[in-house]
Structure 1
């Protein structure tokens, strides 16, 4: 579902800037919520992380872009960190361009996943949002060019060693 534009349209997309998640809910974008209880160390790590904008980039052969941004990184669909107040759509597009070396058109928002973690026996919570986009490459050949990513390629199935970030299953059968 494509949310209405709230300001100027983001470059190469029909999606306007997205900075307010409530506007996505009002536009009918599906929301999913997950809650888990974690240990102190994991809580502290998650409490300090930015939101993410995962992008399911699907080429004309139905393959999905999966990449590793560093040698130590787990393979996953492109997932850009979004700081408070930033435009999820613009950050997502720029991330794919910078890391994979391809330009994409954001086709829609697949959903918003809200992951909340709690410490056992404590009232503290940490929440992280994932605004998941569907996208297509702007070039016909959809070749992954030299970007900053350690590795990027197209896959018909999610690799066994890949991370399943929220929304990934929307792009793989």
Structure 2
């Protein structure tokens, strides 16, 4: 477990996600993301900072869009040469009103972006999946405004909202049984 951090040794900054590649205790995967064209959601970004926030009751913070039938972890894009930890913390604060401590890296995903119907990637970004805990004793998640999505705590997989073949579902399942 030397390659991971604990709540007593929170991560403060990560600007080089490659530093976590090939570490035995960290899951490393490569996934393909098809797009209609080369202009895609992560174009001109380094990747994503995906955050599995688990509270003291063992529940995980999940963003739920029932209209689209989707459940995902907070996952902001990270600017080229940006700080993955800072992006992760800012996103959770923005979407849920919760300050978090990043406690470890669970997964490094090499995201290969391909044009639909083609085999060769035209771009690659890196997704770091972090584990995190609320910085305060207990904070209820809150969403400002009238949004089509909600932020909810789950202790089981919201199976009706997960696409079993999609990387975002794999990330949720890292934290929720």
* TM superposition score category, shorter chain reference: 0.7 to 0.9
What SS does the corresponding residue of 2:29 show, helix, strand or coil?
A: strand
Looking at structure 1, the residues matched to 53 and 17 of structure 2 have their Cα atoms a distance apart, in angstroms, of: 22
- In the alignment, what sits opposite 2:161? 161
Deviation per residue, 1:141-162 (Å, 9 max, x gap): 2311344764111011232224
- Residue aligning to 1:172: 176
Structure 2 match to 1:125: 122
- Please give the per-residue CA displacement for 1:112-169, whole angstroms capped at 9, x wherever unaligned: 1112144556655321211011011122223113447641110112322246515322
Indicate which of 18, 40, 43 corresponds to 1:45.
Answer: 40
- Is contact 1:29-1:111 (8 Å) kept? no
Identify which of 74, 78, 82 aligns with 1:82: 78
| Matched-pair contact (CA < 8 Å) for 1:110–1:167 | no
Judge conservation of contact 2:30–2:111 (CA < 8 Å) in 1: yes
**Contact 2:143/2:150 (<8 A) preserved:** no
- 1:45 match: secondary structure: coil
Q: CA separation in 1, counterparts of 2:176 and 2:124?
A: 26
| Contact residue 49 and residue 128 of structure 1 kept, 8 A | no
Structure 1: gaps (5+ residues): 4-12
Q: CA deviation at 1:31?
A: 5.1
Structure 1, 109-118 or 141-150: larger mean CA deviation = 141-150
Alpha-carbon contact 1:107-1:135 (below 8 Å) kept: yes
Counterparts of 1:55 and 1:37, CA distance in 2: 19
State the partner residue of 1:144.
141
* Aligned partners of 2:17 and 2:126 also within 8 Å: no
Q: RMSD value over aligned CA atoms?
A: 3.3
- 1:26 Cα shift? 7.2
Deviations 1:59-108 (A, max 9, x none): 11111101148x76933111111111110001100110111001111111
Partner of 1:95: 91
Return the TM-score normalized by structure 1.
0.76
Contact 1:98/1:147 (<8 A) preserved: no
